[in-house]
Amino acid sequence: MKALKITYWVSTLVFATIFTTTGTLYLLHFPTFVKRATDLFYPPYLLEIIGTAKVLGGIALVTPKFPRLKEWAYAGFAFDFIGAIWSHFYVQGLGESVRLLVPLSILMVSYISYHRLQRWPETAIVKK
């Protein structure tokens, strides 16, 4: 069970850190992300919507309480990846869309390990 907890927390923290950071860069209209969005023919205001969702989703994933909110965050990130994969595939081809499978895999590891920990509640919460 200790390995499962470590797997969950490492994958969740890595994912949440990456997407909270990128969400913040979306909100700040960092030039790289603005270019990426315009290359996909997205309007610039969409950066605020996606950025806000990424920051809030990253926070929700690392918050130990509120399991329903965590489920919504996992679902939101999955929908985000589905849209991103199709957008990149449609505009830039297979190469760009395949690289998005890496963070999607990290999300899946976090999600699966989270649910396995929920099956054994005594291992899900560290008691003091």
CA distance 81 to 97: 10
Q: If you ran DSSP here, which 8-state letter would residue 1 be given?
A: -
Maximum alpha-carbon separation in the chain:
52
CA distance 102 to 107: 9
For 38-83, what is each residue's pLDDT tens digit?
A: 999 999 999 999 999 999 999 999 998 899 999 999 999 999 999 9
| Band of pLDDT at residue 120, cut at 50, 70 and 90 | confident
Q: How far is CA 63 from CA 41, 57, 69, in A?
A: 34, 10, 9
pLDDT for 121: 63
Average pLDDT over residues 92-114: 92
For 1-39, what is each residue's pLDDT tens digit?
A: 788 999 999 999 999 999 999 999 999 999 999 999 999
Q: What residue type is 84 in one-letter code?
A: A
3-state secondary structure 40-82: CCCCCCHHHHHHHHHHHHHHHHHCCCCHHHHHHHHHHHHHHHH
